[in-house]
Amino acid sequence: KTVRIFNHQYPLIPFISTLLGIAILTMLGNWQLKRLEEKSRLISAIEQSMITPAQLVTADNIKNVEIFQKIKLEGSFIEGQNIFLYGKRSGTAEKDGYYILSPFIIDNQQDQENSEIILVSRGWIPQSMKAAIADGTLSLASSMQSIEAVVMPREKKPLFMPENDVERNIWFRIDPEFAVSTHNVTIGNVYFRQINASDLPDGMVPLNTSNLSKIRNDHLEYAISWYGLAVALIIMFLYYYHRK
């Protein structure tokens, strides 16, 4: 069986297969353009949020915050419950180190069982500082204070990443939902990135917003690749059968 197009006969099965391939490649290109638009809106929203003054949030409305919103919080860190998140950092004498995360009681509520407790990423330390912070020789501020933070989404676990090691207190990804069961955190769908902290011990690097909007957005290149493959498939099909 054949199909006739513009006075040319093409075998039906190869013709249908080629059309199917072109349709799939075009759909993939369209999907990448959609992702490009979504990612561009996200980057724009983050950039706008970073230049917007931080909004004061209390225990009453903490659950209404939005991803990448910049906020102010009043409360205190729970002493002795620091989490060590393994992570390398460039631009420092020591590349290996840990991000310190701590549970934070909003509004300094005394009754922890009925308080709103969030997980806050406070800063980065080199490997050499871990032992001193872990055994309490070097303490972090835990008194009542006001902090500025950015609301961050949960991190997805890559396929081959190991699980967080609770026994050794070494985490490999930020998982606020996991902290609900390990550190009495009450907000498990997001965590909070403290920015521009000024009360950190010497050697601890504060976090900021400089890299939050630096999200890879290569979807236009991917879309062009898929559309290019569709065009190449058309050319190969026509060349093969017209040559014959």
Angle at alpha carbon of residue 140, lines to 135 and 146, rounded to 5°:
155
What's the pLDDT tens digit per position in 59-72? Answer: 889 999 998 999 99
pLDDT at 109: 64
Tell me the pairing of strands 145-153 and 70-77.
Answer: antiparallel
Mean local confidence (pLDDT), 110-126? 84
pLDDT at 138: 87
- pLDDT at 243 exceeding the cut of 80: no
What Rg do the C-alpha atoms of the chain give, in angstroms? 26
pLDDT-derived band of residue 113, with 50, 70 and 90 as boundaries? low
CA 162, CA 150: separation in Å to the nearest integer? Answer: 27
pLDDT at 242: 78
What's the pLDDT tens digit per position in 179-229? Answer: 998 898 999 999 999 998 888 888 899 998 877 767 788 999 999 999 999
Nearest to 211 by CA among 86, 28, 80, 89: 89
